[in-house]
């Protein structure tokens, strides 16, 4: 039995890289019976009856983590691509992405595009947001039109990591991939002026070798939901809340109406930014309004 990593899934086939070549494989029927499904990024064991024929995936090895939308496993970090203009920078949408990546233990990196489109007076507000997220511990990359500089800055970040590329539609994810991998020639989405968002241009998830690492584009969505996050877990997805939560009077404090809550005190002093706490309250309400699953 051989071992490899699923690099691409398309039309019922899984393409497994064994260190030298891609092997086209099918999954065993037993996966369907168990309600399991191999994912791009999975380390798997497979067999091949005749050299050169299709292989069969026999076993999925234990996953480090997995995302549901897009369906991908064993991710080290996520580059969240957000434009500052067209569409405008959106902190609540960014925070949704950050919370979900944090919940899956995927390290987030924020990449802001279209900085050259900012007009006078718009830089100061954005600088304030950038400083906030950096103080929370996030890496924030700012990109202009200098593509060579962008590649130079991304190379050490991508090296020896499996990275997922995600973000709001129409912000330049495909353009970013084209810059990193000129031979890829992905179609760049055209921003719909009426909708203010881009049209989806990528149809499948694939891990691509780039900068001595693996990079995945993530098609088919423009936001994350909180289906897999419990209300008791949400606070742990906000790094600035983790820093002070141990000082709350009550263990298991949800930082809402509880007395002597260190998180709410930190909001009052400005140590935790007010807009972040408002997003926390909104996300918490969304989780609490979620219909129970049986």
SS3 of the chain: the string is CEEEEEEEEECCEEEEECCCCEEEEEECHHHHHHCCCCCECCEEEEECCCCCCCEEEEEECCCCCEECCCCEECCCEEEEEEECCCCCCCHHHHHHHHHHHHHCCCEEEEEEECHHHCCCCHHHHHHHHHHHHHHCCCEEEECCCCHHHHHHHHHHHHCCCEEEEEECCCCCHHHHHHHHCHHHCCCCCCEECCCCEECCCCCCCEEEEECCEEEEECCCCCCCCCCCCCCCCHHHHCHHHHHHHCCCCCCCCCCCCCCCCHHHHHHHHCCCCHHHHHHHHHHHHHHHCCCCCC
Fold of domain 72-217: Rossmann fold (3.40.50)
Which pLDDT score, from 0 to 100, does residue 146 have?
60
User: Which superfamily, per CATH, for 2-62?
Assistant: Nucleic acid-binding proteins (2.40.50.140)
What is the predicted pLDDT for the residue at 154? 85
Residue spans in the chain of domains classed CATH 3.40.50.300: 72-217
* Parts of the chain belonging to CATH 1.10.40.50: 234-288
* Stretch(es) of the chain classified as CATH 2.40.50.140: 2-62
Q: Structure pTM?
A: 0.83
The pLDDT of residue 193: 40
Domain 234-288 has CATH 3.40.50.1110: no
The pLDDT of residue 184: 62
| pLDDT of res. 293 | 62
Per-residue pLDDT of the chain (294 residues; tens, 9 = 90+): 899 999 999 888 999 999 889 999 988 877 877 878 899 999 999 998 777 788 999 999 999 998 877 788 999 999 898 888 888 888 999 999 999 999 999 999 998 888 888 887 778 889 999 999 999 999 999 876 666 677 788 889 999 999 988 777 666 667 777 777 766 655 444 333 433 444 444 457 789 888 899 988 665 444 567 888 999 999 999 999 999 999 999 999 999 999 999 999 999 999 999 999 999 999 999 999 987 765
């Amino acid at each position: 039995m051989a071992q490899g990593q699923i690099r691409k899934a398309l039309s019922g086939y899984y393409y497994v890289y064994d260190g030298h070549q891609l092997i086209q494989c099918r999954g065993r029927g037993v996966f369907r019976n168990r309600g399991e499904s191999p994912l791009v990024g999975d380390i798997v064991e497979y067999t091949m009856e005749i050299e050169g024929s299709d292989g069969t995936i026999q076993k999925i090895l234990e996953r480090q983590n997995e995302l549901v939308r897009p369906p991908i496993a064993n991710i080290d970090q996520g580059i969240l691509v957000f434009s500052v203009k067209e569409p405008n920078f959106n902190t609540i949408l960014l925070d949704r992405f950050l919370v979900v990546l944090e919940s899956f233990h995927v390290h987030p990196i924020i990449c802001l595009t279209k900085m050259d489109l900012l007009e006078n007076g718009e830089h100061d507000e954005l600088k304030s947001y950038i400083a906030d997220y950096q103080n929370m511990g996030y890496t924030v990359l700012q990109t202009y039109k200098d593509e060579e500089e962008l590649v130079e800055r991304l190379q050490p970040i991508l090296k020896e990591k499996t990275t997922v590329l995600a973000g709001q539609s129409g912000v330049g994810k495909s353009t970013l991939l084209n810059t990193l991998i000129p031979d890829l020639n992905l179609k760049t989405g055209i921003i719909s002026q009426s909708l203010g968002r881009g049209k989806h241009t990528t149809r499948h998830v694939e891990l691509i070798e780039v900068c001595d690492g693996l990079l995945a584009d993530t098609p088919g969505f423009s936001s994350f939901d909180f289906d897999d996050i419990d209300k008791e877990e949400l606070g742990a997805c906000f790094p600035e809340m983790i820093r002070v939560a141990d000082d709350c009077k009550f263990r298991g404090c949800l930082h809402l109406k509880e007395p002597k809550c260190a998180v709410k005190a930190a909001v009052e002093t400005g140590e935790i930014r007010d807009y972040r706490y408002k997003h926390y309250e909104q996300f918490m309400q969304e989780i609490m309004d979620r219909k129970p699953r049986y």
